[in-house]
Amino acid sequence: MKQTMISGTGRYLPTRLVTNDDLALWMDTSDEWIRQRTGIEQRYWVPEEGGVGASDLGFEASKIALDRAGWRPDDIDLIIFATLSPDFNFPGSGCLLQHKLGLETTPALDIRQQCSGFVYGIATADAFIRSGLYNRILFVGAEVHSTGLDISSRGRDVTVIFGDGAGALCLEGAEPDRTCGVMASVLHSQGEFSSSLMTEAPVSRQNPRLSEAMLREGRHYPTMDGRSVFKHAVRRLPLVAQEALDKAGLTLSDIDLFIPHQANLRINQAFQKAMDLPDEKIFNNIQRYGNTTAASIPIAFDEAIEKGLLKTGSTVMFLGLGAGLTWGAVIYRFAG
């Protein structure tokens, strides 16, 4: 069985900077509240007039990752696209990206695992590579949240959290080597808590799926039981981190850097405390980007590499929890 290696990364953020003070012009909130409760100082959103979808952001991040990997688009055997904000309800954004990359019949699949889109996506890519079915996989996590958020005070608890953006990774099968590559992945879900964080409409169990009444009630906007999600994250993340370490046969001190999903700085600080990690072992950038869901870990990973925090032989753990509920962790070691 081959080992899954990462050959290139890329990120792309849209250019419209939205500060907390900007949000306070539209809804009853404040810079102080947002910083205190979430750590977020600003985020980037696509242009207000529209015209930019998740596949467009994903395309920009992909071009950078492909370039760094030294791949041409037709080197790609499979595209895995993680998003909760696809360009259309269907077809998936992976197909749209495939066309934008100038490819003709390369397979593409979408993963709808929200904030766990990265860990689910990498675990899926790793399984395809190990099975021998595909050798070169482009993973993309991309979100356009801003066009689907309630920017009135009704939506303030959710809206202040989310940012738009994209991250991409080129994953490739290499000859087996037990000491590097994807070392372990662990995935979980718990549908019992599906209503804790969801966008309900359009809803297939209702006819029509979207009515004027539903629009008036704002049922097409995301809703969240923030406290419940927070509690689950703080409890689950240390457990899943340990589970991944056990699976890889590693200990905490073997991990050079933890890159958690960027949902809320306080969640990551609670994780850091629970695991007794020094500041230099955990990477956060939610302050600048907000929560970009499936894009948050690949954006952070790309930045961590750029800052020289990860190099030859480094071991990194990615982990996250989000809507579903879904959560998981992946351990990756760079070639030594």
Ligand X SMILES: CC(C)(COP(=O)(O)OP(=O)(O)OC[C@H]1O[C@@H](n2cnc3c(N)ncnc32)[C@H](O)[C@@H]1OP(=O)(O)O)[C@@H](O)C(=O)NCCC(=O)NCCS
Catalytic residues: 115, 261, 291
In whole angstroms, what is the distance from residue 174 CA to residue 176 CA? Answer: 6
Residue 157 touches ligand X, criterion: CB under 6 A = yes
Choice between 186 and 263, CB closer to ligand X: 263
Residue 148 touches ligand X, criterion: CB under 6 A = no
In whole angstroms, what is the distance from residue 298 CA to residue 111 CA? Answer: 15
In whole angstroms, what is the distance from residue 226 CA to residue 196 CA? Answer: 8
Residue 229 touches ligand X, criterion: CB under 6 A = yes
Choice between 65 and 297, CB closer to ligand X: 297
- Across the chain, the runs of DSSP E, i.e. the strands, are 3-12, 16-19, 42-45, 78-82, 108-111, 136-143, 165-174, 181-189, 197-199, 222-224, 257-260, 315-322, 326-333
CB of 248 to ligand X, least distance (A): 25
CB of 119 to ligand X, least distance (A): 12
In whole angstroms, what is the distance from residue 162 CA to residue 83 CA? Answer: 13
For 141-189, give the secondary structure using H, E and C.
EEECCHHHCCCCHHHHHHHCCECCEEEEEEEEEECCCCCCEEEEEEEEE
Choice between 52 and 224, CB closer to ligand X: 224
Residue 291 touches ligand X, criterion: CB under 6 A = yes
Residue 160 touches ligand X, criterion: CB under 6 A = yes
Choice between 130 and 288, CB closer to ligand X: 288
Is the C-alpha dihedral spanning 70, 72, 78, 83 positive or negative? positive
Is the Cβ–Cβ distance between 129 and 6 less than 8 Å? no
Residue written as token pair 């405390």: 273
41-49, 139-147, 209-217, 262-270 -> range binding ligand X (CB under 6 A): 262-270
Residue of closest CB approach to ligand X: 226
Alpha carbon 124 to chain centroid, angstroms? 14
Residues 71-110 that bind ligand X (CB under 6 A): none
Residue 271 touches ligand X, criterion: CB under 6 A = no
Pattern 181-210, binding to ligand X, x per CB under 6 A? ----------------x-------------
Is the Cβ–Cβ distance between 34 and 290 less than 8 Å? no
Token pair in block for residue 233: 């994250």
Applying CB under 6 A, what is the total number of residues that bind ligand X? 20
CB of 229 to ligand X, least distance (A): 4
Choice between 202 and 226, CB closer to ligand X: 226
Token pair in block for residue 151: 């920017």
Residue 37 touches ligand X, criterion: CB under 6 A = yes
45-53, 79-87, 143-151, 220-228 -> range binding ligand X (CB under 6 A): 220-228
Residue 29 touches ligand X, criterion: CB under 6 A = yes
In whole angstroms, what is the distance from residue 32 CA to residue 236 CA? Answer: 28
SS percent in the chain: helix, strand, coil, step 5: 40, 25, 35
CB of 95 to ligand X, least distance (A): 26
Residue 33 touches ligand X, criterion: CB under 6 A = yes
CA 98 vs CA 93, 138, 213, 231: distances in Å: 8, 10, 37, 38
Choice between 197 and 300, CB closer to ligand X: 197
Residue 240 touches ligand X, criterion: CB under 6 A = no
Site residues for ligand X per CB under 6 A: 29, 33, 37-38, 115, 156-157, 160-161, 197, 224, 226-227, 229-230, 263-264, 267, 291, 322
